[in-house]
Structure formats: structure tokens, C-alpha cells
Amino acid sequence: MDVLKVKNLNKNYKKKASVLKDITFQIKKGICVGLVGESGCGKSTLARCILGIESIDSGEIVLFNTLLDQNKDMGSLRKHVQAVFQNPTSSLNPKLKIKDSLLDPFIQFESQIQLRHLNYQNQEQFVRDLLDMVDLPSRMANAYPHELSGGQKQRVAIARAISIEPALLLLDEPTASLDVFSQNQFLKLLEQLRVELELSYLFISHDLAAVHMISQQIMVMKEGSIVDSFNKEALLLNSRNSYTKELISVFEE
């Protein structure tokens, strides 16, 4: 089953050439699709279009067979898509304790969702379980964001995103601010959660190594176009696009 379908999507900015050019792809249930490309190629713009933050000029975005109409309120579909961005500090309210940030999505959508894997009995237990799922101690529930490291804050962002068991988790450069060791641990955590909660991911990064580690399918973007798309196992085939081969050469150094 396709969780997300993007068809012939185009996006332009004034005084600039096309930012997104005829983008078409699908994400199936339980699969991680990686999107890799250099900075400025349009990856984050695509993410914002899917989230409804940016408008599109033409094309379609379909979530669970529902065409997203960006001229209407998309609130009813928000429960199906959550996002984790590059900078966890900016995504957490500095005035809220971690437990309050974790509970916010669940409180907002409680009447609209039915948890399949998580178990909600009370707020204290639910926060404790979410922290445990991302390998954080329960004492952090009463901490504020400034008391946590960057890696810990990114784990909180993941815990908050999975709290309502969305169908799709959009991850935009989530490891960019982490050191190499933290990156590897974070990617292993994401893979574990994808399997346990039957999540689908769109994992966006300029780092082919990270994309290759976590994704089952890989798309390569250059100058607003998807120039290559393939299963993870086909990365090193000679049929790869010339730009993909450039990325591979960096990956193998």
C-alpha cells in the first residue's frame, strides 16, 4: 500500500529557476525512502511542500489516497505525517518541560487517533514509555531543552513525532548536527522504531552514507530533479546516473 504518492510536482520561486521539476515517487507502508543530494538542490523545499508549508505550482501530493488540497485546512491529515528537522533546538519550545513537548501532539489528536503499538494509560506512564523508546532516562521528563545535549534533544524530537504513530515520518537532515558516533546510534534507533511501529520514512540528507545505512530505496536529486531512483542493493551498479557515481566516489573515500 502506498502511504504517499507525489506526481509531477513542480515548484517555482520568483526571480529563480524552477526549484522542483516534475517530481514523481511513492513511499510504501513500512519502507524508508532516502533522498540524497547536495545542499540547495531542492530537498528541503520538497519536504515543506509535502507538509503543506510551501505551496506547489502544479502536480499532486496524495496521502492515503487523499489528494492534499493546499487551499484548504490540512489539519485533519496532520496526524498522519510528522516531521523531524535538522535543528532540534529550534523545534522544541524552550519554555516547556520535555514532558509537555512530548504530550502536545497526543493531546492535540487524541480524539482522532487509535494507537496500535503504544499504550496510553496516563500521562506520566506515556511520557516514560516514549523516553524509554528513544533510550532516554525518565528523569528527563522534567528537564528543559537547554539542559539536554543536541543528541538528546533530537531523540526527544523523535519521541514526540512517534507519539501519535503517524503513517509517515519526514526526516529532514536529522543527523546533520550530530557527531559521527551519535549519528550511527541515531540511525540505528530510527531503524528500530520503523520496524517496531511499522512506520514509513522519507529520509532527506546530503550524506549518502547515512541514506544508504537506513533506506530500502534511494532517490538522488540534482538541481530540482530526481535524476536516479533505485533499490539500496543497486547502488553500485554501473547503470547508475553519473551524478550518483560522483556521490558514490565521495561515499567511498
Q: Show pLDDT as tens, one digit a residue, over the chain (253 residues).
A: 899 999 999 999 876 678 999 999 999 999 999 999 998 899 999 999 999 888 899 999 998 888 887 656 566 677 889 999 988 888 899 999 999 999 999 999 988 888 999 999 999 999 999 999 999 999 999 999 999 998 999 999 999 999 999 999 999 999 988 888 889 999 999 999 999 999 999 999 999 999 999 999 999 999 999 999 999 999 999 999 999 999 998 876 6
Q: How many CB atoms lie within 10 A of CB 143?
A: 16
- Strand partners of residue 2: 28
**What is the C-alpha to C-alpha distance for residues 212 and 215, in angstroms, rounded to an integer?**
6
Of the candidates 29, 21, 23, the residue with the CA atom closest to the CA atom of residue 7: 23
Q: Note whether 208 and 127 are same-domain residues.
A: no
Q: Note whether 124 and 57 are same-domain residues.
A: no
**What is the C-alpha to C-alpha distance for residues 199 and 66, in angstroms, rounded to an integer?**
18
- Please give the grid coordinates belonging to residue 217: 530505496
Asked, for residue 239, whether it belongs to a domain, the answer is: yes
C-alpha of 51 from chain center? 10
Q: Which regions of 30-167 does DSSP assign to beta strands (E)?
A: 32-36, 58-63, 66-67, 81-84
Q: Note whether 75 and 200 are same-domain residues.
A: yes
Q: Is 51 helix (H, G, I), strand (E, B) or coil?
A: helix
Are 10 and 58 in contact, with CB atoms under 8 Å apart? yes
Asked, for residue 85, whether it belongs to a domain, the answer is: no
Q: In what order do the strands lie in the sheet with 18-28?
A: 18-28, 2-12, 58-63, 66-67
**What is the C-alpha to C-alpha distance for residues 55 and 9, in angstroms, rounded to an integer?**
11
Q: Which regions of 69-190 does DSSP assign to beta strands (E)?
A: 81-84, 168-172
- Please give the grid coordinates belonging to residue 27: 513511499
Q: Note whether 182 and 136 are same-domain residues.
A: no
Q: What is the DSSP letter of 53?
A: S
Among 141, 165, 189, which residue terminates a domain? Answer: 165
Q: Give the pLDDT score at 76.
A: 66
Q: Note whether 171 and 157 are same-domain residues.
A: no
- Span between the terminal Cα atoms of the chain, in Å: 37
Residue 237 burial (C-beta neighbours within 10 Å; 0-12, 13-18, 19+): exposed
Q: Give the pLDDT score at 250.
A: 81
Q: Note whether 251 and 171 are same-domain residues.
A: yes
Phi, psi of 74 (to 5 degrees): -100, 10
Among 112, 145, 165, which residue terminates a domain? Answer: 165
Which structural domain, as residue segments, surrounds residue 67?
1-80+167-253
Domain count, the chain: 2
Q: Note whether 46 and 96 are same-domain residues.
A: no
Q: Is 108 helix (H, G, I), strand (E, B) or coil?
A: helix
Among 120, 141, 165, which residue terminates a domain? Answer: 165
